[in-house]
Structure 1
Amino acid sequence: MMKKSFITMMLLIYLTIQSNATETSTYTTRYDGIDLDEILSNDRLLTGYVNCLMDLGPCTADGKELKKNLPEAIENDCKKCTERQREGADRVCHYLIDNRPEEWTKLEEKYKSDGSYRAKYLASKEAKDEKASNVTNSSEDTNNVSTE
């Protein structure tokens, strides 16, 4: 009887560990080597990915993987993303917000984003621009003082 309860306890511990490991695993890194510069600088490639995500065109293997994981990644703030994936996602999102806002809006609507990512990005961008402006003004003030 004691042996049976010990085995049951070990099984429960094992299942708990497996469950936790599954929850903290990351998305596949198989496509992490994709050249984002090439995609972002090529309208045809970028449009293909956007069309894939919007169900308006075919998907490449990496596009299918992205489409499959995107809703969960949005919902849990990219919890299962590796650092490289998080940086890449931010880079692509920033590019779309800055350069292709109509497509960004459509993607937000389709994936039921509440707009918080765009708001956070734009606020950080404004703060960064303001800081850069203050540094430039401070630098100009210093130059004006030294020439007087």
Structure 2
Amino acid sequence: MHCIVVLCALVVAVVARPEEELAFYNPQYDSFNAQEVADNIRLLKNYGKCFLDQGPCTAEGTDFKKVIPDALRTSCARCSPKQRELIRTVIKAFQTKLPETWDALVKKNDPELKYKADFDKFLQGTDMKMKSGFVLCFLVALTAAYDSSHDDFDIDGLVKNTDALKKFNNCFVHDTDCDDNSSHFKKDIPEAYQQACAKCNQVQKHILKKYIQALKEKLPEQYQEFKNHYDPEGKYTLPLETAIATA
């Protein structure tokens, strides 16, 4: 963690600035009139049929349907504040006006109800900005970035060497063949996997992206081994790989 005092000073300096929207999902439909859909039962039913594969979809309906599973699993972690507002509006309309449709959507996308409790909390939440610089400083301390001392690691050299790639995976999965570099990265992988690399800087995201891509392409069995080791229930892989896709 670098100088937290400097970070806190920066946080206090910018706390009054408008929050930048982190449109992790495509921002194309951020101006979509969700309230119009919520107020129009015919439109709401049509979107419900689209999402349930029971009727035709509009262009935006098709795009919305693609992100529903991920948004449900992650409690909309990759939504911008505007997108969270739109999703809450539409889903609450389903819950109050078409509860059977909402139950069918939950059954389709979360049949074991693994994510229901967390998603319900998200639906009841708000996105009001924190006004306390001291609270934000505390959060900065909690979410400080990972150690960047190995950010100059030659990931391109590693992914070209299949034997070296195998050794890295052996370290990550079996605790064998570890060296200084693989040991350094290994200590952060469990948390990075579960938090979609939230504390990674862009260089670290790029390193992880290149590593995972190389495993998929050159060592698919080792990729499955890596994925099963860090994500045995299959909850974190999609959010992680989506978060690092553009790094």
AA at the equivalent of 1:60: D
Q: Give the TM-score, by structure 1 length.
A: 0.63
Q: Give the TM-score, by structure 2 length.
A: 0.40
Residue 105 (structure 1) aligns with: 224
Identity of aligned residues (%): 21
Residue 192 (structure 2) aligns with: 73
Alignment of 1:1-148 (within 5 A): 16=135, 18-112=137-231, 114=234, 117=237
AA at the equivalent of 1:106: E
Q: Are the counterparts in 2 of residues 39 and 45 from structure 1 also a CA contact under 8 Å?
A: yes
Aligned residues: 111
Q: Which has the higher helix share?
A: 1
Q: In 2 relative to 1, CA 19–115 (structure 1 residues): closer, same or farther, beyond 3 Å? A: closer
Aligned-partner Cα distance in 2 for 1:21–1:110: 29
Q: In 2 relative to 1, CA 15–115 (structure 1 residues): closer, same or farther, beyond 3 Å? A: closer
Shift of 1:117: 3.6
Residue 129 (structure 1) aligns with: none
Gapped regions of structure 2 (runs ≥ 5):
1-131
Aligned-partner Cα distance in 1 for 2:230–2:240: 17
Instruction: For residues 100-122 of structure 1, give each alpha carbon's deviation from its aligned partner in whole angstroms, at most 9, with x where no partner exists.
Output: 1100000111112517646996x
Shift of 1:75: 0.5
AA at the equivalent of 1:108: K
Shift of 1:16: 4.1
Shift of 1:22: 2.0
RMSD over equivalenced CA pairs, Å: 3.0
AA at the equivalent of 1:51: N
Aligned-partner Cα distance in 2 for 1:116–1:96: 17
Shift of 1:43: 2.0
Partner of 1:54, secondary structure, is: helix
26-35 vs 57-66, which moves further: 57-66
Greater Rg by CA: 1
